[in-house]
Amino acid sequence: MSDELPALPWDRARRRTPARIPLTPERIVDAAYTVLDREGYEKLSMRQVATELGVAVSALYTHVSSKDELLELMYLRLFRGWTLPDPDPARWREQVADFAREGLKRLRGHRDLARISMTGVPFSPEVLPQMERLVSLFRVAGLPDRVAGAAGDIISTFIDGFAFEESMLENRRRGSDGLSWPDMRAHLRQFFADLPPDRFPNLIALADHMLPRDEDDRFDLAVEIIIRGLASFAEEAAENAATAGHPGPTARSAAGGPEETGERGEG
């Protein structure tokens, strides 16, 4: 603002103490992320954030109305610079998988971030464009409306839940002992091996596949399962469209059933 005015004589003196960087929501969120990464969600407190900034606690409240709002601002960072590609009907499965992987990657970007994400409001202006493009992707893929409308929510819920449980396990590993991840895995493998074979034959048989996730395989598999489930609805819709009017023996439309057109006279 004062940059455009001619400099007054005493201007220089007043510019001499810019040592104090102005406090902003942006800087507060930065500091909060620093504390989060270092201390974890449980110890993320307004006082810790203030200390991180070298500032009084009360100073935070002039830029951030509450801790909940701070958490909300941290949540919104998840979506910064995250734009989904234009939907491509031929590659929608890949695109959904890419979306899921990117989401998990971002949630893994900061310790316990999944705990914060889980409680975030999904209807904020920053998130809506994401939802819009995701929904458009599902529509382009040929999913019926009611499936397309729910699909984004379903896969997002799963990504959050997966990352959340991962974060829980990681904290448990940190807390109980200083066990490394391989040690933790070995320990759990032994746990499954030591189960009474008469009571837990299946858990023992699949022990290798029951181990907690330390790579992306299980996540990718889960996403693939969801995508296949979605795809089955797309195929079903395509078949129904092809045989419209004269219902032939569609072998696998057992679960679908007729769908009410939700037209209401008030929108």
Partner DNA sequence: ACGCTTCGGAGAACAGTGTTCTCTAGATGG
Partner DNA sequence: CCATCTAGAGAACACTGTTCTCCGAAGCGT
Binding site for its own copies (CB under 8 A): 93, 118-119, 121, 123, 128-129, 131-132, 135-136, 139, 145-151, 153-154, 157-158, 160-162, 164-165, 168, 172, 188-189, 191, 193, 195, 199-203, 205-210, 218, 221-222, 224-233, 255, 262, 264, 267
DSSP symbols for 152-215: HHHHHHHHHHHHHHHHHHHHHHHHH----HHHHHHHHHHHHHTS-TTT-HHHHHTHHHHSPPSS
Q: Which does 63 bind (CB under 5 to 8 A by kind): DNA, its own copies, none?
A: DNA
* Beta strand segments in the chain, E: none
Q: Could you say which of DNA, its own copies, none residue 210 binds, taking C-beta under 5 to 8 angstroms by partner kind?
A: its own copies
- With CB under 5 to 8 Å by kind, the binding choice for 12 among its own copies, DNA, none is none
Query: Which is nearer to its own copies, 51 or 232 (by Cβ)?
Result: 232
The amino acid sitting at 133 is R
Residue 3 or 215: the one with the smaller Cβ distance to DNA is 3
196: left (phi over 0), alpha (psi -120 to 50) or beta: beta
Q: How far is the CB of 243 from DNA (least distance, A)?
A: 58
Say how many C-beta atoms besides its own lie within 10 A of residue 14's C-beta: 10
Instruction: Give the one entry of DNA, its own copies, none that residue 135 binds, where binding means its C-beta sits below a cut-off of 5 to 8 angstroms depending on kind.
Output: its own copies
Label residue 17 exposed, middle or buried (CB < 10 Å: 0-12, 13-18, 19+). exposed
CB 12, min distance to its own copies, A: 47
Contacts 24+ apart (CB under 8 A), 143-148: 143/230, 143/233, 143/234, 143/237, 144/233, 144/236, 144/237, 144/259, 146/259, 147/230, 147/233
Least Å from the CB of residue 7 to DNA: 12
Taking the C-alpha atoms of residue 121 and residue 127, their distance in angstroms, rounded to an integer, is: 9
For its own copies, the closer of residues 31 and 226 by Cβ is 226
- Residue with Cβ nearer its own copies (51 or 171): 171
The residues binding DNA (CB under 7 A) are 1-2, 8-10, 14, 17, 20, 22-23, 43-48, 50, 54-59, 61-63, 66-68
Q: Among residues 63 and 185, whose Cβ is nearest to DNA?
A: 63
From the list DNA, its own copies, none, pick the one residue 75 interacts with, judged by a Cβ distance below 5 to 8 Å according to partner type. none
Q: Are 84 and 130 in contact (CB under 8 A)?
A: yes
